[in-house]
Amino acid sequence: MSYFLISYFALFLPIVIIIYQLVPQKFRWIVLLAADYVFFYMLSGNLIIFLIAATLFAWGLGLWIGKVGQNNELAAKDKKKKKAHIMILGILVSLGVLLLLKYFNFFGENIGALANALGSDFVFTPIKFMVPIGISYYTLQIISYLVDVKRGNQEPVKNLAKIALYLSFFPQIMEGPISRYHQVGEDLYAGRPITFENLKFGYQRICYGLVKKLIVADRIAPLVTKVFSDYQTYDGSVLLLGVLSYTLQLYAEFSGCMDIIIGSGEILGIKLPENFRQPFFAKDASDFWHRWHITLGTWFKDYIFFPVSLAKPVKKLAKNVKNHIGKTASKFTAPFIALFCVWSCNGLWHGPKWTYIFYGMYYFVIIFVENLLEEPTKKITAKLHINRDGKGYKVFRFVKLFIIINLGEMFFRAETVKDGFIMLKGIVSNFHISELVANIWMLKLERADFIAVLGGLLIIIIIGIAKEKGKNIRADIAGWKLPLRWIFWYGAIFLVIIFGAYGAGYTTVDMIYAGY
């Protein structure tokens, strides 16, 4: 996959940029759509038929909902009901295809295991499905489009090309971000000329993303694979290093790819939504998820959390809780149910594994408990005269969140939930720094890798601190004198070329979130 990124950066994207800029503005959407479908075909082959079918389906249902809304022969109540039925049809079909391709075997195997445990002789036979790249992402974009059209927040799009561009934009098809039509739809079709500013800032961001991905994430990947695959042979100190390394790998990998994706869009004058905002500076787990995979979190908030919270059965239940238990319990009833639905879906969205479901439930419990304890914590800290904005409290908050994040990622990466608990037990009960010192150079991380990763991590930390303080680093660099700017950016490019993990001796590392 490293070669893929280099090819994308040095070959595919420049070709698209040149052709896009050369053709007249009114035809640029054709260049973009052709690039989208060529890119998708290169990754998924004939499975492109799923993307085409999904595009036609979303476009047709959007028009159908719009047509119902314009039907003056129907009463307002009947219009609302019929539009809801069409929207539900669209959601069920879209999710049905996703569930069939990605989750059929998982559910079948678990139902079979349950049936066997109950005494049945049922035997489930798995079916091997080919899954098109990006289906988890464009399915959510289809649902958001149909729901927004039904709600009246989005006009039905009559131009099929606009929907096709929205669902297939080549930089984001593999890993997101998950955009809404109103954010990018018209920009994708506009065909604005590529400006020097966009080209400069876009390639700057791509270069930073390559530093994260190739120098940090890919170099540390062999160590992570080694520790998690042979965890039973290692001391707790080595296991802890593996867990911390995986958290770093995942962040550098995913946020780095987001930089490459958003930078690609920036070159073409298309502003994609941000997906990361210095998540490790968060104050608690809830804030962490407001900063990590932002577009997935906001999608769940808008299309699951609020609808579930405001659903009539949930409101009725909250009222009954208030009458029988009390006002305080009632206040948390709707958030409890809605959070459970959100985090169940979040876990399942990542893939058909119990570790992902456990991961979702892990954050459901933590975030709900945090919300439950927020007011009591404020009262206790005020009574004890603890300054919640002071350095001491911030350090405590950071350490707490750091433990929560790494513990969660350990279970997320483990092959099974049981493996995760065995690793946790090893870290807690069998921890000796001497074992780490003795084994560190046998974990597929050479000294050169170690130095490169530390250097890349230092860059990430410095830039993260600066951004958290509100500094616009790219604008500051753009203000440097020309010779200094050229030295800096050529240095950055050669940094990736020299220290990136690719070539002889390096294992090809797939893009983690492309598999979800």
Burial of 32 per CB tally in 10 Å (0-12, 13-18, 19+): buried
Are residues 249 and 217 in contact, defined by beta-carbon separation less than 8 angstroms?
A: yes
Alpha carbon distance 416, 412 (integer Å): 9
Assess whether 73 and 165 both reside in one domain.
yes
Report whether pLDDT(276) > 60.
yes
User: What are the distances in angstroms from CA 449 to CA 48, 107, 209, 212?
Assistant: 38, 41, 18, 13
CA angle 31–37–38, rounded 5-degree value: 85
Assess whether 406 and 465 both reside in one domain.
no
Alpha carbon distance 396, 405 (integer Å): 14
pLDDT the model gives residue 441: 79
User: What are the distances in angstroms from CA 320 to CA 12, 324, 413, 484, 499?
Assistant: 59, 6, 41, 68, 62
Mean pLDDT of 143-164: 96
Assess whether 54 and 186 both reside in one domain.
yes
End residue of a domain, out of 192, 220, 245: 192
Are residues 394 and 287 in contact, defined by beta-carbon separation less than 8 angstroms?
A: no
> Could you tell me which residues come within 8 angstroms of residue 59 by beta carbon, excluding any fewer than 6 positions away?
157, 160, 163, 164
How many domains does the chain fold into? 3
End residue of a domain, out of 141, 172, 192: 192
Report whether pLDDT(393) > 70.
yes
Report whether pLDDT(122) > 90.
no
Mean pLDDT of 151-167: 96
Residue 152 forms part of a structural domain: yes
Assess whether 251 and 367 both reside in one domain.
no
Assess whether 344 and 270 both reside in one domain.
no
Residue 99 forms part of a structural domain: yes
**How many CB atoms are located within 10 Å of the residue 233 CB?**
10
Assess whether 292 and 354 both reside in one domain.
yes
pLDDT the model gives residue 140: 97
pLDDT the model gives residue 502: 65
* Mean pLDDT (the chain, rounded): 91
Report whether pLDDT(510) > 80.
no
pLDDT in tens, 376-390: 888 898 898 888 888
Q: Greater confidence, 73 or 357?
A: 357
Residue 7 forms part of a structural domain: no
Mean pLDDT of 5-19: 86
This prediction's pTM: 0.93
Q: Greater confidence, 384 or 85?
A: 85
Residue 22 forms part of a structural domain: no
Which pLDDT band holds residue 24 (cuts at 50, 70, 90)? very high
Assess whether 289 and 266 both reside in one domain.
no
Q: What is the residue range of 243's domain?
A: 194-276+426-516
End residue of a domain, out of 160, 192, 224: 192
Nearest to 43 by CA among 5, 96, 16: 5
Are residues 247 and 457 in contact, defined by beta-carbon separation less than 8 angstroms?
A: no
Question: H/E element holding 424?
Answer: helix 417-429
Mean pLDDT of 197-205: 90
Residue 5 forms part of a structural domain: no
pLDDT the model gives residue 266: 95
pLDDT the model gives residue 347: 95
Report whether pLDDT(93) > 90.
yes
Residue 381 forms part of a structural domain: yes
Nearest to 69 by CA among 58, 57, 81, 52: 81
> Could you tell me which residues come within 8 angstroms of residue 492 by beta carbon, excluding any fewer than 6 positions away?
207, 208, 211
Rounded to the nearest 10 degrees, what angle do helices 354-383 and 417-429 cross at? 50
507 secondary structure, DSSP code: -
pLDDT in tens, 68-79: 988 888 888 888
pLDDT the model gives residue 499: 76
Six-digit token pair at 450? 């170690």
Are residues 445 and 223 in contact, defined by beta-carbon separation less than 8 angstroms?
A: yes
Lowest-pLDDT choice from 6-10, 238-242, 264-268: 6-10
Assess whether 165 and 41 both reside in one domain.
yes
Alpha carbon distance, N-terminus to C-terminus of the chain = 16
Residue-by-residue DSSP string for 284-327: SHHHHHHHBSHHHHHHHIIIIIHHHHT-HHHHHHHHHHHHHT-H
Which pLDDT band holds residue 339 (cuts at 50, 70, 90)? very high
pLDDT the model gives residue 514: 60
Alpha carbon distance 425, 444 (integer Å): 24
Are residues 13 and 7 in contact, defined by beta-carbon separation less than 8 angstroms?
A: no
pLDDT the model gives residue 75: 84
Report whether pLDDT(364) > 70.
yes
Report whether pLDDT(228) > 70.
yes
Assess whether 227 and 252 both reside in one domain.
yes
Mean pLDDT of 322-345: 90
Six-digit token pair at 230? 């042979």
Assess whether 112 and 182 both reside in one domain.
yes
Mean pLDDT of 336-360: 95
Assess whether 220 and 133 both reside in one domain.
no
Report whether pLDDT(20) > 90.
yes
Assess whether 161 and 65 both reside in one domain.
yes
Residue 170 forms part of a structural domain: yes
Phi–psi pair at 292, nearest 5 degrees = -115, 130
| Signed CA dihedral, 510, 54, 297, 205: sign only | positive
Report whether pLDDT(513) > 70.
no
Q: Which residue do the tokens 């603890």 mark?
A: 386
Six-digit token pair at 32? 């973009």
H helices, E strands: number in the chain: 23, 0
Residue 12 forms part of a structural domain: no
